[in-house]
Structure 1
Amino acid sequence: MDIRICLCAFAALFTSASAASSENLQWLVSQYDNTTFLSYGIPDTDYSPIGFYCSTGDETVRLIVTHDAPDAKDGQQMRVTLSSDAGSVELSASGQFQEIDDMLHLEGQTRLDRKLVRILSANGALNVSIDGSKQDIPLAGAADHIDALVAACGAPLNPNDLEVRITNKADMPIVSLLFSEQGVNDYDGDTYGNQVLAPGDTTYLIIPDGRPSCSFDLRAEYDEEAERDPFEGTQNLCENGEFLIAQ
């Protein structure tokens, strides 16, 4: 869907309202034709600083977020990171500058998978980082509406996929989580880039087609500057789907 069509058809959902009151902002879900919108805004107004939308049956979800960047140009690419206590995702977004509010409106896309659902369903706040500029969006109420987006266009967990709950009980951050079928020594997994799994935090790891094997070697890697060997363990993840990274 062209974003200009989306804005026009959905009453300019992502334009600004100068009199916006932060106390009235809340998570809302709406539908227009075959498109489902999950947005954080003020009811019965056009104001929404961040929102997600997707077409029915399409696992691709589009993100639209406003960004205060007066020197940005139309079409400028920026990196957007969405993170909460449940993990983080990073995507590239393209901006359109609107003179009506002097804001850059960024649009990017990613897959509406279980990882993103966990991030949006977490407690606390959604941290939105745009080229180093950060803002926190309260997540209270988002979990009440996320099911509507998932029902329309979410990517289900395949029957043979394994979802592993990872908790960092170590005293330093984890920069990557890797897995390999037990004894195979062929590791794959999530690398966090600029993001980390901080001590005490929890995230989720999906192992595609992992259920037939069940037993996996798991490795948690620290930052190179930590000069500490990776934490390794072996576990039957069909019997116990939670993996603890110990000291």
Structure 2
Amino acid sequence: MTNLLLKLSAAAIALSAMTSVSNAEDLVFTLKNNTKGTLERFYTSPVGVGTWEEDVFGADVIEPGESMEITIGDGRSVCKYDMRFEFTEDSNIEDLEDTQDLCAMGSYTINMH
């Protein structure tokens, strides 16, 4: 009986560890396009990573004045991300980059000054 309890306890601990890894908290925020151009691509990468990860939008875009809920579900437990925003060519807006603590944000607005 003791051997069975030890095996069940070990299995429960292993299952608990796997569950906590697979349920890493996603970063969710609203991205608002407050420019006159169409936002075509949005890349993120944790601060310190030397390359951009895949386009968050996929086939989607954010038109001027629109917003989109963004979920970064990369399984990492970091908050500071580098971001790159690319607009359609006819928008005549140069690509923009920024770094923010996404855990502390409910929304991010791209503004043109």
Residue 227 of structure 1 deviates from its aligned partner by: 4.2
1: CA distance, partners of 2:108 / 2:58? 18
3-state SS, counterpart of residue 61 of structure 2: coil
Question: Structure 1 residues 169, 175: closer, same or farther in 2, change over 3 A?
Answer: same
1: CA distance, partners of 2:71 / 2:111? 20
What is the RMSD of the two structures over their aligned residues, measured on CA atoms?
A: 2.0
8 Å CA contact 1:165–1:205 kept in 2: the answer is: yes
Say whether 1:213 aligns with 2:78. Answer: yes
Alignment of 1:66-145 (within 5 A): none
Residue 245 of structure 1 deviates from its aligned partner by: 1.1
Q: Cα deviation per residue 1:73-96 (whole Å; 9 max; x = unaligned)?
A: xxxxxxxxxxxxxxxxxxxxxxxx
Residue 236 of structure 1: aligned partner: 101
Q: Which has the higher helix share?
A: 2
Residue 56 of structure 2: aligned partner: 190
Residue 210 of structure 1 deviates from its aligned partner by: 5.7
Question: Structure 1 residues 166, 225: closer, same or farther in 2, change over 3 A?
Answer: same
* Structure 1 stretches lacking a partner, 5+ long: 1-157
Alignment of 1:6-21 (within 5 A): none
Q: Cα deviation per residue 1:192-243 (whole Å; 9 max; x = unaligned)?
A: 53x4201111101211246621000111110133343212111101111311
Residue 162 of structure 1: aligned partner: 27
2: CA distance, partners of 1:246 / 1:185? 26
- Identity across the alignment (%): 29
Question: Structure 1 residues 202, 161: closer, same or farther in 2, change over 3 A?
Answer: same
Residue 176 of structure 1: aligned partner: 41
Report the TM-score when normalising by structure 2: 0.66
8 Å CA contact 2:81–2:101 kept in 1: the answer is: yes
Q: Which has the higher strand share?
A: 1
2: CA distance, partners of 1:159 / 1:236? 17
Greater RCO, 1 or 2 (C-alpha within 8 Å, sep 6+) = 2
2: CA distance, partners of 1:233 / 1:186? 14
1: CA distance, partners of 2:79 / 2:34? 23
1: CA distance, partners of 2:29 / 2:51? 18
Question: Structure 1 residues 210, 230: closer, same or farther in 2, change over 3 A?
Answer: farther
* Structure 2 stretches lacking a partner, 5+ long: 1-22
Residue 161 of structure 1 deviates from its aligned partner by: 1.2
3-state SS, counterpart of residue 104 of structure 2: coil
Question: Structure 1 residues 227, 210: closer, same or farther in 2, change over 3 A?
Answer: farther
8 Å CA contact 1:162–1:210 kept in 2: the answer is: no
The letter for the 1-side match of 2:93 is R
Report the TM-score when normalising by structure 1: 0.33
